[in-house]
Amino acid sequence: MKLIKLLALFTAYGTAFWACESDLKPELTNTVTLSVPQEDAPNTTSAPSVSPMLRPPSDEDQCESKLNYVAPNVIRRLTRSEYRNTARDLLGVELAELVDTFPPEEEVNGFDNQSKSLQVSALHVEEFMQASEKLAQVVVENFDEISPCVPMNEQAESCIEAFIRDFGFKAWRRPIVADEVEQMLSLYRQGVAGAKEDLAHPQAHLLGPIDPMSDGISLIASAFLQSPYFLYRVELGSEIIDSYNDQDERVAGTVKVLSDYEIASRLSYLLWRSMPDQTLFEAARNGELSSEAGLMAQAERMLLDPKSADGLWSFFEQWLAFDEIKDISKDPYVFPEYSEDLNHLFETEVRLFVEDVVFTQGDMRALFQSSQSFMNAELARHYARGGEGAKVSEDRLDESAEWAFNQDLSLDDEALRNARSSLPNGESFIKIELNPQRRSGLLTRGGVLALTTKPNMGDPVHRGIYIRERLLCTPLPPPPPDIVVVAPDPDPSLTTREQFKIHSSEPACEGCHKLVDPLGFGLERFDPVGRFRELENGQEINDQGEVVSTLDIDGTFHGSQELGERLANSEQVQRCVVLNLMRYAQGRSESAPEICDIDQLYGKYSSANYDFLTLLRAIIRSPSFSRLHFDKEDVSLNTALSEQGQ
């Protein structure tokens, strides 16, 4: 029966997978580490320049003609998380381990949803087949709830046809045409016939329970879920709105408007990382998404759904590497009090902090300078064990300067106690105010501080790399091939700054280290597990830093607070936010002419006081969100498929 199923699938439906091929390797830049040169090694590393896409366009960019540029169309396969979410919403069943064996996506531009890396290997094909069979069994077991009707017997093909149209519409995220319905009905019949052959076999009792209808239903469900229309976000467009020959840096081709169903999928996978719900499907069926008013009405509705918090969190956790916090580990000999349970607390803190900035404060500058955060008692105890000398026990957290958020530290003890936040006293996280002279902004959150240091010591290099690459959008080149990559050994007689200053002073290392080390030095008052400290190894800490090679914030600074203020008010940093969200929303790298669209998005974002949701809405409203560009050679095939309803 297994062979019959496979033959039926390939005979009735053809090859079920499309592979995207590319000679370009993923642009991973997180492998930069501290390096020291071999003897007589030449200095071949040059300092990276600021990306042109982060600069305001000049007259030479000719934005009058390039605004609303439509980049070449890309095909995107569902990522592991999108597959899991889609299966959950399609079947109404949470299958937590469904995609655990799927090959992980390689990140490009820091994100897992970029078309360049979403290729399909033989392992993908095998895993997709096995997953489809598991999900098909769920369909059979829950057929009464999933199907619009219940067949009374194997002859009830009218009900099977209704199931094909209803289930196929949701799985493929578009209406099913007549030829496709007939293909699936044929597949159902083959499944029923194969099961009957098994029942007629003399040793059928060895095969276990056999039900022809269940086998037929399972076969068509599996076919739906192995189809490229399920595995990919297929976009063919509808109405042609522009045709052109070589001009505006575009090759000859055609611009088409997305169908309402295609727009619905773009919107749902951006905001929810999952398939459209019934309301969004109805809006697509009624043609409401073709207008800006209808599109934005659905976007606003979806942003109010709790699923949007999960969907948007995916952007932040990938852009800012929060998804790596869960894997932090520290040397138990150096930090015996550190437990990996803290990783979950760190993750919770940064997520609540980011969501508060996005949904409540509404100003992305607060991401870098807000002194508000979220803690429970266990996390607060961890922070209070830092260098400010607070008295901490398992059942009591004494008030300390860590929580004295009032900047007037000349207050007497009683006034200072009244100025402090209420401290958490249980497992629940509460919003608290911190001392802004000690902690303000994302870079002072324990998860980021612990993530960007080594297991046994501080690491201003990787803290600087984090700022340079994630926040300033300036990827660093790898060390030259003739340089040995090592790190200094911990020295209890020196501060971290002194150790790394010695280690990175070699001429072959200076080029990159001067870009990152001075940034990381501004966070030296925080130890490798995220706690504030006044001294390191009994010595005074120097947290003076310097920003170089940026568009607008070069210069020296003292400590994390001044660094956060510079980042918050940097146009380069805020344009980096725009660039990253655009890459995430469109699933691809930007094209050179899109400097004009990025500038227009930045203008709307900045005029709204850097409200992230305003930027998100502007991207949804932009023409590139609802249009497709096909190269000339793709147009004829695209037209043929559209005419066939495929």
244 and 214 in one domain?
Answer: no
Report for 3-7, 277-281, 335-339, 501-505: range of highest mean pLDDT: 277-281
Would residue 29 count as lying in a domain? Answer: no
Q: Which tens digit of pLDDT belongs to each residue from 328-374? A: 999 999 999 899 999 999 999 999 999 999 999 999 999 999 999 99
Q: Are residues 229 and 239 in the same domain?
A: no
Average pLDDT for 61-69: 78
The pLDDT of residue 543: 92
Q: What is the pLDDT of residue 421?
A: 62
- Give the whole-number percent of the chain exceeding pLDDT 90: 56
Q: Looking at the structure, tell me whether residues 263 and 140 fall in a common domain.
A: no
CA distance 137 to 133: 6
* pLDDT confidence of residue 338: 93
| Residue-level pLDDT at 640 | 47
Task: Identify whether residues 609 and 517 lie together within a single domain.
Answer: yes
- pLDDT at position 245 over 80: no
Q: How far is C-alpha 108 from the chain's CA centre? A: 11
pLDDT at 254: 83
| Residues 614 and 644 grouped into a single domain | yes
Task: Show which of 212, 233, 254 is a domain's final residue.
Answer: 233
Map tokens 């088409």 to a residue. Answer: 256
Position 435 in a domain: no
Give tens-digit pLDDT for 577-621: 999 999 999 999 998 889 999 999 999 999 999 999 999 999 999
pLDDT, residue 49, reads 72
Both 215 and 286 in one domain: the answer is: no
Residue ending a domain, among 233, 252, 286, is 233
Residue-level pLDDT at 30: 35
**Residue 128 covered by a domain:** yes
**String of DSSP letters for 169-229:** HHHHTSPPPHHHHHHHHHHHHHHHHHHHHHHHSTTGGGG----HHHHHHHHHHHHHHHSHH
Last residue of a domain, one of 233, 250, 281: 233
The answer as to whether 86 is a domain residue is: yes
Q: Count structural domains, the chain.
A: 2
Residue 534: C-alpha distances to residues 231, 335, 452, 543, 551 (Å) = 54, 18, 20, 11, 33
336 backbone dihedrals φ, ψ, rounded to 5°: -65, -25
Which domain does 93 fall in, by range? 2-24+76-233
SS (H, E, C) 299-331: HHHHHHCHHHHHHHHHHHHHHCCHHHHHHCCCC
Do 124 and 196 sit in the same domain of this protein? yes
Same domain membership, residue 560 and residue 537: yes
- Closest of 563, 582, 614 to residue 362, by C-alpha: 614
Looking at the structure, tell me whether residues 126 and 54 fall in a common domain: no
Residues 8-18 have pLDDT tens digits of: 444 444 434 44
Residue 385 resides in a domain: no
